[in-house]
Amino acid sequence: MTIAKACVVGAGVMGSGIAAQIANAGVPVLLLDIVPKAAPGTTGDRSAIARGAIDKLLKADPAPLMSRAAARLITPGNIEDDLAQLSDVDWIVEAIIERVDLKQDLYRKLEGKRKAGSIVSSNTSTIPLSHLVAGLPDGFARDFCITHFFNPPRYMRLLEVVGGPKTRPEAIQEISAFGDVMLGKAIVHAKDTPGFVANRIGVYWMQAAVTAALDLGLTVEQADAIMGRPIGAPKTGIFGLLDLVGLDLMPHVDKSMAASLPPDDPYVKLRRDWPLLSKMIADGYTGRKGKGGFYRLNTEGGQRIKESIDLTTGTYAPSTTARLESADAAKGGLKALVSHKDKGGQYAWSVLSRLLTYAASLVPQIADNIVELDQAMKTGFNFKRGPFEMIDQMGTAWFAERLRAEKLAVPALLENAAKAGGFYKVDGGRLNYFGPDGAYHPVERAEGVLLLSDIKLSAKPILRNGSASLWDIGDGVACLEFHSKMNALDPDSLALIKQALDHVGKKMKALVIHNEAENFSVGANVGLALFAANVALWPMIDDLIGTGQAAMKAMKYAPFPVVAAPSGMALGGGCETVLHSGAVQAHAETYIGLVEVGVGVVPGWGGCKEMLVRNQPGPKDPKGPMPPVAAAFETISLAKVAKSAAEAKELRFLRATDNITMNRDRLLADAKARALKMLDDGYQPPKPPELRLPGPTGRTGLNLAVHGFALQGKALPHDVVVSDALAEVLSGGKTDFTEVVNEDHVTKLERAAFMKLVKTEGTLARMEHMLTTGKPLRN
Amino acid sequence: MSKAVIAGYVRSPFHFAGKGALTRVRPDDLAATVIRGLLEKTGVRPDDIEDLALGCAFPEGEQGLNVARLIGMIVGLPQTVAGATINRFCGSSMQAIHMAAGAIAMGSGQAFICAGIESMTRVPMMGFNPMPNPALAEKAKGAYMSMGETAENVAKKYKISRKEQEEFAVRSHRLATAARQAGKFTDEIIPIPAGKENVTSDGCIREETSMEALAGLKPAFDEKGTVTAGTSSPLTDGASACLVTSEDYAKANGLKVLARVRSSAVVGCAPEIMGIGPVAATERALKRAGLTLKDIDIVELNEAFSSQSIACMRDLKLDLDKTNIDGGAIALGHPLGATGARITGKAAALLKRESKQFALATQCIGGGQGIATVLEAA
């Protein structure tokens, strides 16, 4: 059975978010909630709750939906009138309030209505599966499991799947496969224990981080300066994180954990009542959604002053930057951090020693192996490394030794792993993990998952320089990887593109451009351009544009398939790389755009030209020379960035024929398969397009529009300058629409416009501002 | 010389472009429905019609080719009825009436359909391919100036405060609301089928608007200016049509005559302040009619913007109580090509309804022009 239609019952934040992600995958989904209590005598909309939830989805930021088309796949309904529609639903997700009685009432209602063999799952985070199916028919229990999503469901990668003793193994397989391939989730198979995997460890971490901060007398700033990036946790640290998730959530989570764990569990021993937290909640300090939390923004007196709470007195004072040597020491690794003698080092050790031994004591109790636990913390709590990867980074033997030296308990699994030489080991080019059975086992990747990091374990790059490498990923396909800082493109990156094309042309069959960094590429290296401009090295900048244009053109017309496989941001030059690939296999979470105007220039590596080509009118578009020019102008002059791959298609950064992969781990394999398919289909490079552009009239027309925006205050003085240069490029310079021009005509104009702008003060100010603050200057 | 009379006036409901009830209705179909309504209401013999003169400010796309001729075919007019699309921007369909009146005077026909159409949803203002002449744009700043900017220029030149403009807009909505509630539009509106819906009433009137609501809006065209979306006529989808015949023909065929066309005028003015176009046009038309403003009982002054309406009223010393008594374009909407036939037909109908002697219909035109028609009771 494939899941062709789904239903989510419960249109709260989680339920509607799950429905949105199912719709993002292109699968129709029914979203049901209860019938609202209408005022007597009125005949209100009986599906108003679900309908309202869809409206909220469309407005929420960050957007739960990847496109407006996805919203149309969600059908609102209610559980009284619409259960008949379940007859063709393959998967029903229950996401209602956390009460066993209500959940079981609903399950009983579903029986007889739902399709035979359909799967029912609960999104519970606190109720054991055994309680949920207690007293229900075996037929129901066989089709039932827990699917525990994390908030927000589109962006959090973790999906915990929990089966019971009666659950059909095929049901678990189907849901796992759907969650992985279609919803793009990292699947962790958890056992039916309290908090499952991520919350069991994550909530313990939060409790330990708070407790240790109180015991060691740290300020909230100091605690967060250590408990964030230095340990590989999100930068909010611990108190910032509590502010973000909501302080009022914590007593519920704590109560539920404490009640369901055995009294000798380390969590139960660690946890304690915390009067300050109760007082803050009672006073309305519930975090960012309330008046503030451990941090607040004091706007009294007209200024916005960030303040932090004093953990002992409960009073607020202006925040200060914590200066801890240990935080800097963390750059040398976790071991350096926890070995540091200052308060921060002690704090890190206190939390991590407890957290990591706790995690080591829970395998195989909560999940079969350490890989699942590491995956859960990485994808459910956004840790950079999982607990066992953290131990390995410090040195497993060293960690165990220090625990012993401090007379702390060493769990058997840790003891054994320390003796064996660590939790992970590369053997024969494959990554192995240490099993509870005391032996190493290969880390299995699902069918269709290909990771560059796995390939790197056993191979050396074909080509390499400081900014990029070329790898052999098998079957004659090469992978070009960017790896400069933030994957900014520089002369080395361009040189490697050129070399890669030469190499693949001679010795291989196809090229994929992909990397596993957070962002595909944030664009050309602005620092380099600014440096050259400051010393008037104009030929160097001009050469960088020319080299880039040549590299992009060579990619586009390579005689073999070039497939870009971006994930994360693909901006500026990163976007131009994608635009010049023969095909794109994009991760659904790709944020693509030509943002050059933000630093006061126009796209110079063929971005302007490519947007003109892509906006050539289709059969349904208005004819004439202006519509493609106006469309490209709008996209580039407003620096529009698509907030998903689906939106990138709407903005024409991606072609209708480009493909989208939901699961990032499947991106490289999908891109490789795409390249091989293109070869099979007899790949031919594209024919160079012929363009008819309006010439000066187009520039005048666009400038008239910009004049209006300038009056409205929407375009600032330097925007007008940059827009004029862009208008000149896109309208084709001095051409006339009776003339046919080629791509080189436009890229020449791009180059000239870039050089003209980079010599203006306004543009240099924008570049400098971007480099120092990371934000665009409005001048 | 035969006199021309207005022997019928109808229009479609007017709705916001882009979001109103008529967005999915093709402009040629919209005009055809309105013209069918006109034929039915007046009972004119189609075979007697000389020409369908149709005003349209952006005659391209679905309004392109010679859409007047095509609309004649959609309506099912006899083949012998000719069709001409006429463009004088906002003055287009008033111009159609002037041309019919002129033809009648010359004995070149006895019955004309003078209609107007604009779907500002389906054909954007400026058209799909705005291609200004670079040399002219350099030489004459006002040539391609946006209408909003000209409205700001007029507000500045005449020192018209934002509050004054807002009072005028509130009045327009108040009068339009009252007129609708009193059923005063039912006579002129032809229902338009739009998908499963039948659109029978106007969509732009904001019954609840207030000074407070308008005060909250940001300037729409100049961040330091006074003109807001609330004091501008909205982008609108709509169509209108008048039956213009010779007085003799109307009498011989028992048509219900609303008014006689007494005089008309067009005149150019500075494009940067195109909104004052009605001043010179009105003066010219009155002179030709041998009348003064004191003689005028009913005024339909197109409300492109509050600022230009107030400026015109000030210069002409127009009586507010006689002007736009059922509301104007700020409340009703301004489908460019359709407005001229609406206000001329409306002025004629009001002359009849209010049993008055003389009426004036006048409007400003982008690019710097004014157009005016003087009507008299028949």
pLDDT tens digits, A68-102? 999 999 999 999 999 999 999 999 999 999 999 99
Chain B environment of A732 (Cβ under 8 Å)? none
**Nearest residue of A to residue B62, measured between CA atoms:** A622
Which residue among A624, A697, A713 places its CB closest to the CB of B134? A697
- Is A712 close to B129, i.e. CB distance below 8 A? no
Q: Which residues of B are catalytic?
A: 90, 334, 364
User: Cβ–Cβ of B128/A622 closer than 8 Å?
Assistant: yes
Q: What is the pLDDT of residue B141?
A: 86
Q: Which of A627, A698, A708 lies closest to B128 in CB terms?
A: A627
Q: What is the C-alpha separation between B326 and B332, in angstroms, rounded?
A: 9
Beta bridge partner(s), residue B238 = B118
Residue A621 reports pLDDT greater than 80: no
Does residue A569 contact residue A591 with C-beta atoms inside 8 Å?
A: yes
Q: Which of A699, A712, A737 to mutate to test the interface with B (most CBs of B within 10 A)?
A: A712
C-alpha separations of A492 from A469, A482, A522, A530, A666 in Å: 10, 10, 15, 17, 28
The residue of chain B with its CA nearest to that of A617 is B128
The pLDDT score that the predictor gives to residue B264 is 98
Quick: pLDDT tens for B133-173: 999 999 988 999 999 999 999 999 999 999 999 999 999 99
The answer to whether residues A416 and A434 touch, using CB atoms and an 8 Å cutoff, is yes
Say if residues B14 and B202 touch (Cβ distance below 8 Å): yes
Q: Does B144 touch chain A (CB under 8 A)?
A: yes
Closest-CA distance, B370 to chain A, in angstroms, reads 24
Q: Nearest CA to A729 among A639, A601, A544, A583?
A: A601
> Which distant-in-sequence residues (6+ apart) come within 8 Å of A366 by Cβ?
A190, A191, A193, A196, A197, A200, A373
Q: What tokens appear for A28 in the block?
A: 């129709």
- For residues A711-717, give the mean pLDDT: 94
B220 Cβ under 8 Å from any chain A Cβ:
yes
How distant is the Cα of A727 from the closest Cα of chain B, in angstroms?
A: 13
Residue B130 touches partner A, C-beta closer than 8 Å: yes
Answer whether B134 sits within 8 Å of A696, measured CB to CB: yes
Chain B residues within an 8 Å CB radius of A698 = 131
Nearest CA distance, B134 vs chain A (angstrom): 6
To the nearest whole Å, the CA of A246 is away from the closest chain B CA by 34
* Among B131, B152, B224, beta carbon nearest to A697: B131
Radius of gyration of chain B (CA): 19
With CB atoms and an 8 Å threshold, state whether B128 touches A696.
no
For residue A506, CA distances in Å to A351, A559, A683 come to 55, 11, 16
What's the residue count for chain A? 779
Give me the pLDDT at residue B207, please: 94
Do A747 and A609 meet the contact criterion of CB atoms below 8 Å apart?
Answer: yes
Residues of chain A contacting B133 with CB distance shorter than 8 Å? 697, 700
B65 CB near a chain A CB, below 8 Å?
Answer: no
Q: Do B221 and A623 touch (CB under 8 A)?
A: no
* Nearest-CA distance B74 → chain A (Å): 23
Interface test with A, best of B131, B226, B232 (most A CBs within 10 A): B131
Residues of B in contact with A627 (CB under 8 A): 128-129
Smallest CA–CA distance, residue A582 to chain B, in Å, is 31
A622 confidence band (pLDDT: 50, 70, 90) = confident
Burial class (CB in 10 A: 0-12, 13-18, 19+), A365: exposed
Compute how many other C-beta atoms are within 10 angstroms of the C-beta atom of residue B212: 8
Q: What is the pLDDT of residues B289-348, one digit of tens each?
A: 999 999 999 999 999 999 999 999 999 999 999 999 999 999 999 999 999 999 999 999
Interface of B with A in 149-168 (CB under 8 A): 149, 152
- Is B128's CB within 8 Å of A624's CB? yes
Residues 6+ apart with CB under 8 A from A303: none
Pairing mode of beta strands A468-472, A488-489? unpaired
Does the CB of B146 have a partner CB in chain A at under 8 Å? Answer: yes
Radius of gyration of chain A (CA): 28
Taking the C-alpha atoms of residue A196 and residue A256, their distance in angstroms, rounded to an integer, is 12
Query: What are the chain B neighbours of A699 within 8 Å (beta carbons)?
Result: 134
| A contacts of B228 (beta carbons < 8 Å) | none
Which candidate from B128, B132, B221 shows the least CB-CB separation from A711? B221
What are A440's two structure tokens? Answer: 């190493």
CB contacts of A701 in chain B (<8 Å) are 130-132
pLDDT value of position A42: 55
Compute the distance between CA of residue A116 and CA of residue A111 in angstroms, rounded to an integer: 9
In this prediction, residues B224-242 reach a mean pLDDT of 97
Q: Which helix (H) or strand (E) holds B106?
A: helix B92-106
Question: Comparing C-alpha atoms, which of A277, A209, A289, A198 is closest to residue A243?
Answer: A289
Q: What is the mean pLDDT of residues A746-771?
A: 96
Task: Look over chain A and give the mean of its residue pLDDT values, rounded to a whole number.
Answer: 95
B142 touching A (Cβ < 8 Å): no
Cα A363 to its chain centre, rounded Å, is 28
- Indicate if the pLDDT at residue A40 is higher than 60: no
SS3 of residue A729 by DSSP: helix
Q: Are B222 and A712 in contact (CB under 8 A)?
A: yes
pLDDT at B147: 96
Nearest of A599, A549, A579, A608 to residue A726 by alpha carbon: A608
Rounded to whole angstroms, the Cα distance separating A204 from A41 reads 51
Give the tokens for residue A685: 């490079």
Decide if pLDDT at A364 tops 70. Answer: yes
Q: Is B141 on the interface with A (CB under 8 A)?
A: no
Does the beta-carbon distance from A622 to B129 stay under 8 Å? yes
Q: What is the pLDDT of residue A43?
A: 63
Among chain A residues, the shortest Cα distance to B142 is held by A704
CB B92 within 8 A of CB B98: no
What's the pLDDT tens digit per position in B24-45? 999 999 999 999 999 999 999 9
Q: Looking at the complex, report in whole angstroms how far the Cα of residue A616 sits from the nearest Cα belonging to chain B.
A: 14
How distant is the Cα of B362 from the closest Cα of chain A, in angstroms? 28
**What mean pLDDT comes out for the span A634-654?**
97
Query: Does the pLDDT of residue A620 top 80, yes or no?
Result: no
d(CA B311, CA A335): 78
Rounded Cα–Cα distance for residues B144 and B133 (Å): 9
**How many residue contacts between A and B have a Cβ separation below 8 Å?**
53
Q: Do B146 and A699 touch (CB under 8 A)?
A: no
Q: Which two tokens stand for residue B363?
A: 């409007």
Taking a C-beta distance cutoff of 8 angstroms, is the pair A588, A662 a contact?
A: yes
CA distance linking residue B270 with residue A112, whole number of Å: 77
**Percent of chain B with pLDDT strictly greater than 70:** 100
pLDDT band (50, 70, 90) for residue A597: very high
Percent helix, strand and coil across chain A, each to the nearest 5: 50, 15, 40
Closest CA to B360 of B299, B319, B310, B303: B299
Where are the strands (E) in B107-162, listed by range?
A: 111-119
pLDDT score recorded for residue A748: 98
In this prediction, residues A244-251 reach a mean pLDDT of 90
Mean pLDDT for A555-566 is 98
- Chain B residues touching A697 at Cβ < 8 A: 131-134
Q: How confident is the model at residue A44 (pLDDT cuts 50, 70, 90)?
A: confident
What is the pTM for the complete model shown?
A: 0.89
Tell if the CB–CB gap between A704 and B146 is shorter than 8 Å.
yes
Would the pLDDT of A563 be above 60?
Answer: yes
Cβ distance B129 to A627 less than 8 Å, yes or no, reads: yes
**What is the SS3 assignment for A408-439?**
CCCCHHHHHHHHHCCCEEEECCEEEEECCCCC
CB atoms inside a 10 Å sphere around CB A772: 9
As a whole number, the mean pLDDT across chain B is: 96
Backbone angles phi, psi at B213, to 5 degrees: -60, -45
Write b or e for each residue in A441-478: b if 16 or more Cβ atoms lie within 10 A of its Cβ, otherwise e: eeeeeeeebbbbebbeeeeebbbbbebbbbbbbeebbb
Q: Is B139 at the interface with chain A, CB within 8 A?
A: no
Whether A712 sits inside 8 A of B222 (CB atoms) is: yes
The C-alpha atoms of residue A434 and residue A360 are separated, in whole angstroms, by 11
Query: What ipTM is given for this predicted complex?
Result: 0.86
In whole angstroms, give the CA distance from residue B264 to residue B272.
24
Residue B315 touches partner A, C-beta closer than 8 Å: no
Residue in B closest to A699 by C-alpha: B134
